[in-house]
């Protein structure tokens, strides 16, 4: 199915929840709505579902205007952060309810329910009532029921937010496979850049009720069209440094010159963006040295994040491996100018580096893997979440 939003906006009293925006999500694919809390993701999904009517604009499905059509008349599946299950039905019957309504045979219903329950790690709970489960387990029941419906439009509003990080990692992989195997148009809201990268597909970056950029996820990550997008699609945050145009490149505070690529007639004032994964302590050919002082060193999983005070500004380096840095100790960071993003004084992208594997290092929330030998215990532990 083809969903189209034409200049959709939403105001409640004097407050603008959504500024007019147009969006045509790729059909039969995953579109991630990425943005911080109160970016407008839930407001937009409620309009897509038919739970709310936009103040301006219209919603089309396969060319048909469904703007005023209530949700009960649409074939939509939706999962919220707050799980919703039928309290008097067993887990099995909760998942089976949309399959029974569609008239499937008992054998097909049983097979599909057990397949989904197994993939979402709730197969041992099929005979229990929702009240007998933990919050995370109930969330997975609601997710399984939505997947069982196999609706042409599936809306998932941070469906994994109530789960522990180990289980979130496992279920992200399962969901990616389930989405690929189906033929639904999936809209998936998240605050986590790493989740968008793992789900792939397409990403729409939102901020403060505005749609900032939409496109293939990898393209949006590598070529954020503005500073706002770069901030939203970076974890840890992109290092941002003030600079100005100079002969041969951009000059940072303190007089350091970076030989970055600039288009003709670039604005004098610039902002340079450097991903934490592009900052090193070991020099490579073409690198520029940035001496500084260690302010904080935090270990997250198998990476170390070093916060450094330098003459050009505060910089965070993401270093592979576990490293010990004494607070206040001297350190020299290295950056290759070819890996620097350049934005003009209006915050628009002027230059983006060529794609490099180092840019795709997973964010900290996805890097903390269990130690060797712990994998065997995951199967039991995940059922308790």
Q: Give just the sign of the alpha carbon dihedral 48, 49, 55, 60.
A: positive
Using CA atoms, how far residue 259 sits from 195, 196, 341, 349, in Å, is 34, 32, 12, 17
Residue 384 lies in a domain: no
Residues 295, 340 within the same domain: yes
Residues 152, 176 within the same domain: yes
Q: What pLDDT score was predicted for residue 367?
A: 37
Residue 80 lies in a domain: yes
Residues 317, 198 within the same domain: no
Residue 212 lies in a domain: yes
Question: At which of 181, 198, 222 does a domain end?
Answer: 222
Q: Phi-psi region for residue 369, left (φ > 0), alpha (ψ -120 to 50) or beta? A: beta
Find, among 254, 242, 312, the residue nearest to 279 by Cα: 312
What is the C-alpha to C-alpha distance for residues 234 and 221, in angstroms, rounded to an integer?
Answer: 8
Calculate the average pLDDT of the chain.
88
CATH number, domain of 145, equals 3.40.50.300
Residue 93 lies in a domain: yes
DSSP string, 249-285: EEEETTS-EE-----TT--SEEEEEE-GGG-BSS--T
Query: 146: exposed, middle or buried (C-beta count within 10 Å: 0-12, 13-18, 19+)?
Result: buried
Residue 376 lies in a domain: no
Residue 286 lies in a domain: yes
Q: Which domain holds residue 191?
A: 3-222
State the virtual CA torsion across 260, 202, 345, 247 in degrees, nearest 10. Answer: 10
What is the C-alpha to C-alpha distance for residues 351 and 225, in angstroms, rounded to an integer?
Answer: 10
Q: Helix, strand or coil for residue 303?
A: strand
Q: What is the pLDDT of residues 207-244, one digit of tens each?
A: 999 999 999 999 999 999 999 999 999 988 999 999 99
Residue 244 lies in a domain: yes
Task: State the alpha helices, DSSP H only, in 159-214.
Answer: 165-181, 193-199
Question: At which of 172, 187, 222 does a domain end?
Answer: 222
Residues 250, 327 within the same domain: yes
Q: What is the pLDDT of residues 182-213, one digit of tens each?
A: 788 999 999 999 899 999 899 999 999 999 99
Residues 182, 101 within the same domain: yes
Q: What pLDDT score was predicted for residue 54?
A: 96
Averaged pLDDT, 104-109: 93
Q: What pLDDT score was predicted for residue 356?
A: 57
What is the C-alpha to C-alpha distance for residues 6 and 27, in angstroms, rounded to an integer?
Answer: 16
Residue 229 lies in a domain: no
Averaged pLDDT, 267-292: 94
Q: What is the pLDDT of residues 19-66, one digit of tens each?
A: 999 999 999 999 999 999 999 999 999 999 999 999 999 999 999 999
**pLDDT surpassing 50 at residue 167:** yes
- In total, how many domains does the chain have? 2
């Amino acid at each position: 199915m083809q969903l189209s939003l034409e200049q959709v906006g939403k105001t409640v009293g004097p407050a603008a929840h959504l500024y007019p925006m147009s969006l045509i999500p790729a059909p039969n694919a995953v579109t991630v709505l990425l943005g911080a809390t109160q970016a407008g993701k839930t407001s937009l999904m409620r309009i897509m579902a038919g739970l709310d009517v936009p103040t301006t604009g219209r919603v089309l499905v396969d060319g048909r205007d469904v703007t005023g059509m209530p949700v009960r008349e649409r074939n939509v599946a939706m999962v919220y952060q707050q799980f919703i299950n039928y309290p008097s039905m067993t887990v099995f019957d909760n998942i089976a309810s949309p399959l029974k309504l569609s008239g499937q045979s008992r054998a097909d219903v049983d097979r599909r329910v057990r397949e989904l329950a197994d993939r979402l790690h709730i197969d041992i709970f099929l005979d229990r009532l929702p009240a007998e489960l933990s919050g995370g387990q109930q969330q997975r029941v609601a997710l399984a029921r939505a997947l069982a419906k196999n609706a042409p439009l599936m809306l998932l509003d941070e469906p994994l937010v109530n789960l522990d990080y180990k289980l979130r990692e496992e279920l992200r992989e399962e969901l990616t496979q389930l989405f690929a195997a189906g033929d639904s148009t999936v809209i998936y809201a998240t605050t986590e850049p790493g989740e968008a990268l793992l789900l792939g597909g397409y990403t729409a970056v939102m901020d403060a009720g505005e749609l900032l950029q939409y496109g293939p996820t990898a393209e949006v990550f590598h070529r954020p069209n503005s500073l706002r997008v770069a901030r939203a699609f970076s974890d840890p945050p992109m290092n941002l440094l003030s600079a100005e145009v100079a002969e041969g490149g951009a000059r940072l505070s303190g007089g350091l010159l970076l030989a970055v690529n600039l288009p003709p007639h670039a604005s004098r004032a610039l902002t340079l963006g450097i991903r934490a994964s592009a900052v090193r302590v070991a020099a490579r050919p073409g690198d520029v040295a940035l001496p500084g002082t260690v302010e904080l060193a935090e270990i997250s999983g198998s990476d170390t994040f070093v916060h450094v005070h330098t003459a050009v500004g505060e910089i965070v380096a993401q270093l592979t491996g576990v490293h010990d840095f004494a607070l206040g100790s001297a350190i020299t960071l290295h950056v290759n100018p070819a890996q620097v993003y350049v934005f003009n004084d209006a915050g628009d992208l002027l230059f983006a580096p060529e794609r490099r594997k180092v840019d795709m290092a997973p964010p900290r929330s996805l890097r903390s893997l269990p130690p060797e030998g712990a994998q065997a215990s995951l199967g039991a532990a995940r059922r308790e979440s």
